[in-house]
Amino acid sequence: MQDLKNRYKSFAIETGVLIQQLPKSIINTAYSNQLIRSSSSPGTNYRAACRGKSTADFINKLKIVEEELDESIYFLELVQHFNPRFEAQIIKLLKESNELLAITVASLKTARLNRTS
């Protein structure tokens, strides 16, 4: 659990570092504003899920984590399109966000199964 908390936090930090390095433009500003929010949200919602009051609460918080990770992937792809010079950094972030998304989806499936059994 702590390892996953650290991964979500590192993802948010590394995304922030990328955003700070991007050249200033209307597109980068708009996408970066969305990306900074969506990339930091999974960590806060995962932490909240770990403190969930019930299985239903845990599942609801994890669904937010899933949605925000998917949104982060989308905006990373857009940023990548307009900033090919940062492709290596973005590919690394895409890999991590896809791994975190897969873990989150698996956790949701497990939680749903445990709720019904």
Q: Which residues contact 103 (CB under 8 A, 6 or more apart)?
A: 4
| pLDDT tens-place string over residues 78-115 | 999 999 999 999 999 999 999 999 999 999 999 988 87
Q: Which domains does the chain have, with CATH numbers?
A: 2-116 (1.20.1440.60)
Token duo for residue 28: 């980068």
Tell me the pLDDT band of 117, cut-offs 50, 70 and 90. low
- Helix, strand, coil percentages for the chain (3-state, nearest 5): 90, 0, 10
* pLDDT per position as a tens digit, 9-57: 999 999 999 999 999 999 999 999 999 999 999 999 999 999 989 999 9
